[in-house]
Structure 1
């Protein structure tokens, strides 16, 4: 069976989609904050969504109930590398099976990008936590989720003293069929070259 032409058409479609995701800012929700301003979680008793220092991160995310693609970036490649180096040091003392263990993204070979991490989240709303799925996922990346086995950046656990800005970029993918979400994520990650996470 020769489906070369059809695959080429599909490739062009996904290239076009990923170019839009990376370059068009009109539909992007971007929230910048200082990592050092994040509140201590105090054994996960702090509601980061409602805390004065971080509420602005979640105001718009709380309204998004569709699938999303998101990434964390920093102003410079040097800052992203510094944060990734801190994450790598954290990995050395972050021992699986211990009470303090937190699952973090895998290492990769990218080393020249201001993007730290790229991910996707299926749409939805969790009544138990009164959160949209994307808000819950960003909470996990910030390090405010009590279950350490849920993978995320866990920023509060290793980067609290970093006094530079990090930006969360969220693209709504309003698509009735989520099977393409991971394909789009992989192609976008190839373009943005995040310093951690496997794609």
Structure 2
């Protein structure tokens, strides 16, 4: 077992060194205006929605990614948590990220990662994924009637970094201190 741990550690060094020297492969930013989000639970949100241009751009992101949502509107952490908590307590609510007992007063809403298919994770965060147990921000549900504006920042990495996204996510979350989500 000792030799396996040594071999794994040695193989991890190369991709991490590349990132330490070059940074992410690509960076993107997308604006998400939650005002009057429509119900796309019964249509193809990828093609037949106000978000089709966003999904066209996100579909081309193939590598593992770190991403985070920042609140661009004037909404503060207390209001955001209140709205998420109210939604979470409604019957039939879809699963939302963990709400911290002592949440930070920040504009960073959430930090996440994917090994591939960022577009699928975005569907979940918007609230249009059919499986209610799959955790996501569920923006469609708790932002209704508000003018919440978000920015989604994406850091794409080379495919060889897929197994190391959890480590980078934890470090980024500790630095950005998002309002929701567990990062240990």
What pairs with 1:46-195 in structure 2 (closer than 5 Å)?
A: 46-75=43-72, 78-94=75-91, 100-108=92-100, 109-123=102-116, 133-195=117-179
Q: Is the 2:73–2:150 Cα contact (8 Å) retained in structure 1?
A: no
Greater shift in the superposed pair: 155-164 or 73-82 = 73-82
Structure 1 CA distance for aligned equivalents of residues 103 and 93 of structure 2 = 25
Pairwise CA distance, 1:177: 4.0
The 1:195–1:92 alpha-carbon spacing in structure 2 relative to 1, beyond 3 Å, is same
Q: Which 5+ residue runs of structure 1 have no aligned equivalent?
A: 1-9, 95-99, 124-132
Instruction: Say if 2:81 and 2:99, in contact at 8 Å, map to a contact too.
Output: no
Give unmatched runs, 5+ long, in structure 2: 1-12
Q: 1:27 corresponds to which residue?
A: 26
Contact kept in structure 1, 2:26 and 2:157, CA below 8 Å: no
Spell out structure 1 runs of 4+ moving beyond 4 A.
none
8 Å contact 2:69–2:152 — kept in the other structure? Answer: yes
> Following TM superposition, by how much is the alpha carbon of 1:53 offset from its aligned partner in structure 2, in angstroms?
1.9
Q: Deviations for 1:171-199, whole angstroms, at most 9, x for unmatched residues?
A: 10114142211010000001111000000
Number of equivalenced pairs = 165
1:93-145 deviation digits (Å, cap 9, x = unpaired):
25xxxxx231110112332110111000111xxxxxxxxx1001000010001
* CA separation of 1:35 and 1:78: change in aligned 2, threshold 3 A: closer
| TM-score, length of structure 1 as denominator length | 0.74
**Counterparts of 2:157 and 2:78 in 1: how far apart (Å)?**
29
